[in-house]
Each structure stands twice: as C-alpha cells, then as structure tokens.
Amino acid sequence: MAPEATPRRIRYPGRVQTDHDLIARWRAEPAPLLPLLHAFHDRDGFLSDDALKAIAHGLRLPLADLYGTVTFYHHFARTPGGKDAPRVCDGPICKLKGCDQLLDELEGATPMPCAGRCDEPIPVLQGDRYLVGLPGQGALDDRPPHRPPVNPMGLDECSFSHLRDPARATLEGYLATGGYAALEKARAMDPEGLLRLVEDSNLAGRGGAGFPTGRKWRAVHDAKGGPKTIVCNADEGEPGCFKDRVLMDYDPHAVLEGMAIAGQATGAHRGFLYLRYEYPHTEVILERAIEEAQGILGEFKVYVRRGAGAYICGEETSLLNSLEGRHPFPRNRPPFPVTHGFEQTPTAVNNVETLVAVPQIVARGAEWYTGLGLGDHNGTKIISLSGDVQRPGNYEIPIGLPLRTLLEDWAGGPPEGRKIQAVTMAGLSGGFLGVNDLDATLDEPCLRGKGSFLGAGGVMVFDDSRDMVEVARQAMSFFAHESCGKCFPCRIGTQRLTERLSGQAGPKDGGEWKDEVHAIGHTMSEVSACGLGIAAPLITESLLRLFPDQVDAHLAKS
C-alpha cells in the first residue's frame, strides 16, 4: 500500500534569498541556529566561510565556536557541491548487502552511518533526494518505505493500530480514524487526572532508557519556572533502528497529538521535533501535518528542527545543546532536563514511539494498554528487525514475546539452509545474544539478566556464514566514529577496542589480549559520561563470551 511518491524538500522557490533575508527570517525564531545553517546549506549547496561569518554575525555567536559546532556534524558540506554528493549507508546491515561495492561504483560517494532503512536496499542520500542502491545497479529512484508487516498472531497493537490505513497521514484520514479525540479528552481532564492515567499505564520511554513517562511528565509539571517545553526525539541514529521514521511518515498526526497531550499534562505550550538529517522526506510530511493541524493544536506550537548528522545528538542533553545552537556534547547531570532542559527551563524529552502510544492510551485507557503485554509485562514495543531473516521490518510485539517466536514464526527465520548465529539488541548498544539465548523473552528484566537490554528495539540478525569478529569491529568503529570526545575513557577506549578487533594492536598472548579488552571495557562502562561509552563495551564483552573460537582464530591470524 505505497503512497504515490516520496515527498521532496523544495526550499525557497522563486527569488534567491540573500544572507540578510535568511538571517532576518530565522533570527526571531526559537532555536534558530540549525535551521539557519540548513537554509544557507540548501541555498548554496555547502557552507562557505562567508556564510559562517554572516551567521556568526547575525546570531552574535563567536565564529570559532560556530566553526567547531558546524564541523562536528557529518552532513554540513564545506566545499562547493558537497551537499549533493551521494552518501551511501555503511551501517551493519548495508555492509552485508555490499555497500562497499556500491560506494566504489557511485562517483564521489562517501559513507554515512546507518541511515535507518535496514529492511530495504541500501539507502543513498543525494542532497534531499532519498534513493536506494544495489551493488551492480547503482542508485535507483526513491521508494516509499515499507509499511510494517501485520503480526501473524492477530494481536492487538497500540502504535500501529491505524498505521496501515493509507489515508492516515492526512488530517482528514486521521480524524476519520478517531484522531485528535484523545487530545480533546485530555483537554477536558485536569492535569492531575491525565498524569495519573499515564502513570497507571506504566508506559516507559521507547527511545532507549525506558524511563517511566508519567513520572517524567509529573516532574516537568511540578518544576518551577518556564516556559516549559516538549521535545520529540526523532534523531533515530541507533544502527538497526527504523521505527520512528515509519511512524512519522505514515502517522505524523499521532506524533503531534502525543506532543500536544504531553503539553497538556505538563503545562508546556511549545514543542520541538528534532529530526535526523537522513530523513528529508519526513520533514516535508511533518511540516504539512503541522500546517494542517494548526487549528486543532491551538496554542501548542510545534517547531521542526533538522539535525545534521551526529549519533550523539540522540542523547537527550546533547540534543538540547544542539537545539540551543551549542556544541552538542552531552551535559553533566544533575540537573536533569525535567528541571533544566531547553534553555535551562523544564523540558520533557520523549521518543517518537513513546509519544505515538499516548493518544491510544488516553483514548482507550491505562488498563487496555497494560493488558497488551504478555504475563506481568505492560504494553507493546516496536522491534525493527533486519539482517539475515526472511521478512525484515518493523513489528509491534507484546512485551514479553519470546525472541524465537519473533524471529522464526513472525519473520520466517534465517535464509534457506542457514542458521541464526547471533542477534544484536538495542540496535548495537545491547551487544550480541547467541543461539542459546533465543528463548529469551523481549522485556528488560529478561534481557538485562543476559547482560543486554531492549533499548530502542533494533534487532539485527547474523546467520552462521558471518564473521562475528568483523561484525564487532565494524560496530566498535561506529562507536569510535560517533564518540563525541568529551570524556577520555570513551574517546580513547572505543579507538583502542577497534584497533584490537582489527588485529592492529594489543598483546600477542591471547589471554593477555582478552584481559586487556576486558579492562578497557570495564573502565569505559564505569566512568564514561553518557550511554554511548557505557554501552559500547557490551559488544566486546558479548563477543568474548559467545564466540571464543572466532576470537582465537582472529588472534591466530593477527
């Protein structure tokens, strides 16, 4: 059920806008730096020194700070024509599909980290055009993303309840399927009743950390000061995760409704939607939905802010710094965003999936939502499933579903004649589970018992033909590339672990090599300042635990 075509970003039709026009357009807006940088980037096809000088002058920013910030992001081109050069996804699953060959085949192409389409051919971003590519065939035309497969057990869904309805992305279709009724209901409730409803649902954050949503909203509601802010985290940078894109593309009004209900519960009248750079078509869809829904959203104002390529900007405090136009390092906590968030005011940062679940919960009740989980577990979770399975895609599962049921019964198991060797959890951040872990259930207590976690729900499957040391090396190299460099153990540790997995460094003796890898990982997980450095060693720890023979073979070769 494909929409006609992937929408394109077409900016500034007609007259060419001068530096002065662009600065005047954005200077008075909240969070102006990113949109202003994008406006120059779109107009000129790169960010020239003169553009940066004009922006620094226009926003009264130190030029040296602006250079540091701009060059931190992957996608701001600094040379003419750079914006339109093809970028080819070289995430873990695209590696399996031959992205290295495609990179060689496309003139001027450079790699980009996982671009969030792991259930499709290799994504190629060319300016604002989203193409897909295949080795030997080059870059093909845009294709709308897959709609999620229906779950074969006929189970009730929450976030995907209406998503397969082709009209749902329009206001008319949204209203026809009960859209915005939950916002109306929330407006008729007092904030206390609304907060209690969300608390009773036990909805937990779907962006990775699993913090209880009701508790977060209550803290923002109770916090002194303002204006209060809702931030929808649509950065979706975790390799192997592609659920938020599908929710926004096919159900954009549900995201807006969730944000407005969050505003109602907390007392916030504005919201930012921080969207990753790699989803240009999604920006068009969201802007259109915001325009359509203006009358309904009323005084709750939503601003879309497009990132520029940096995995760390998904971490909520790094995201807030990025929105504010600062260098996007994570902040030290406490204080937490609920009291000191956007511009030091109380802020609720929530993931797209979390917010999309809210209208359903408000409309259908807390008990309905808790009842969707299996056994003692509450609710549902979207799993982005990719790699060596027959039917990859986004599956909304009841929390507590056995991993094996998802892999084999829902997704058809590994390719003909192959066996599953390993899966990753939480994208890459949860490390690997092995074939003996497939009876695990998909819920945090079970997965934490196995040294992993569900996180944002990316599960990548590797069959028995794959070299797991190489998969681990690529994963660690991603973390090394994306480490923001603020703290030493993560900045250096991710590099040292990548070198060891590449066979380039470390003791020759196998026992000493493993001790050293454990020691580096231990230091990182104990003292890193944010989740990236804390979680990255799960890759090496699970590799050593599950695949000692492959590690020994790797050591023997190096």
Ligand X SMILES: Cc1cc2nc3c(=O)[nH]c(=O)nc-3n(C[C@H](O)[C@H](O)[C@H](O)COP(=O)(O)O)c2cc1C
List residues binding ligand SF4 (CB under 6 A): 312, 330, 483-487, 490-491, 528-530, 532-533
Helix (H, G, I), strand (E, B) or coil at 402: strand
Which C-beta is closer to ligand SF4: that of 218 or that of 331? 331
Contact at 8 Å (CB) between 114 and 91? yes
Among candidate residues 333, 244, 256, 241, the one with its CA nearest the CA of residue 287: 256
8 A C-beta contact, residue 163 and residue 247: yes
Q: How many residues bind ligand X (CB under 6 A)?
A: 22
**Residue in this structure with the two tokens 């549900």, named with its chain if needed:** 254
Is 346 a binding residue for ligand X by CB under 6 A? The answer is no
- Name which of 235 and 249 has its Cβ closer to ligand X: 235
Q: How far is the CB of 531 from ligand X (least distance, A)?
A: 3
What's the token pair of residue 514?
Answer: 């493993």
Taking the least distance from each CB to ligand SF4, the nearer of 429 and 550 is 429
Binding-site member from 206, 270, 305, 306 for ligand X (CB under 6 A): 206
Contact partner, 384, from ligand SF4, ligand X, none, Cβ < 5-8 Å per class = none
Within a 13 Å sphere around the CA of 61, how many CA atoms are in the beta-carbon half? 25
Selection from ligand X, ligand SF4, none that 487 binds (CB < 5 to 8 A by kind) is: ligand SF4
> What strand order describes the sheet that includes 432-434?
393-398, 380-387, 458-463, 420-424, 432-434
Instruction: Give me the least distance between CB of 255 and ligand X, in Å please.
Output: 12
Q: Is the peptide bond before 398 cis (omega within 30 degrees of 0)?
A: no
Which listed residue (126, 229, 350, 528) binds ligand X by CB under 6 A?
A: 350
Q: Which does 529 bind (CB under 5 to 8 A by kind): ligand X, ligand SF4, none?
A: ligand SF4
Q: Does 205 bind ligand X (CB under 6 A)?
A: yes
208 binds ligand X (CB under 6 A): yes
Residue 234 beta carbon to ligand X: minimum distance, rounded to whole angstroms = 7
Binding site partner of 236, from ligand SF4, ligand X, none, Cβ cut-off 5-8 A by kind: ligand X
Provide the minimum distance between the beta carbon of 492 and ligand SF4 in the complex, in angstroms, as a whole number: 9
Rounded to an integer, what distance in angstroms lies between the CA atom of residue 534 and that of residue 226? Answer: 32
Measured from the CB atom, the residue of 67 and 73 that comes closer to ligand X is 73
DSSP 409: I
Contacts with ligand X in 161-200 (CB under 6 A)? none
Residue 19 and residue 41: Cα distance in Å, rounded? 12
Q: Which does 350 bind (CB under 5 to 8 A by kind): ligand SF4, ligand X, none?
A: ligand X
Binder among 34, 532, 536, 539 for ligand X (CB under 6 A): 532
Q: How far apart are CA 91 and CA 451, in angstroms?
A: 24
d(CA 453, CA 424): 10
Question: Does residue 145 contact residue 245 with C-beta atoms inside 8 Å?
Answer: yes
The answer to whether 444 touches 206, Cβ cutoff 8 Å, is no
DSSP summary character for residue 225: S
Among 159, 201, 321, 351, binds ligand X (CB under 6 A): 351
Given ligand X, ligand SF4, none, residue 528, with its beta carbon under 5 to 8 Å by kind, binds ligand SF4
Q: What Rg, from alpha-carbon coordinates, does the chain have?
A: 23
Q: Binding to ligand X by residue 458, rule CB under 6 A?
A: no
CA 514 – CA 552 distance, rounded (Å): 10
Interstrand relation of 87-89 and 122-126 (parallel, antiparallel or unpaired)? antiparallel
Residue from the set 122, 261, 284, 312 that interacts with ligand X by CB under 6 A: 312
Q: Are 217 and 348 in contact (CB under 8 A)?
A: yes
Tell me the window of 144-152, 184-192, 219-227, 310-318 that interacts with ligand X (CB under 6 A).
Answer: 310-318
Question: Which is nearer to ligand SF4, 290 or 532 (by Cβ)?
Answer: 532
Tokens of 47: 């960010």
Compute the least distance from the CB of residue 530 to ligand SF4, in Å: 3
Work out what residue 302 binds among ligand SF4, ligand X, none; the CB cut-off runs from 5 to 8 Å by kind.
none
Count, residues in the chain: 558
CA distance 394 to 309: 23
Whole-number minimum distance, CB 527 to ligand SF4, in Å?
9
Closest CA to 395 of 413, 378, 381, 375: 381
In the range 210-229, which residues lie near ligand X by CB under 6 A? 211
Among residues 233, 360, 441, 477, the one that binds ligand X under rule CB under 6 A: 233
Sign of the alpha-carbon dihedral angle for 388, 391, 397, 401: negative
**From 35-43, 113-121, 151-159, 235-243, span contacting ligand X (CB under 6 A):** 235-243
Question: Is residue 443 near ligand X by the rule CB under 6 A?
Answer: no
Nearer to ligand X, 279 or 395 (CB): 279
Which residues of the chain form contacts with ligand X (CB under 6 A)? Answer: 205-209, 211, 233, 235-238, 312, 314-316, 349-351, 354, 530-532
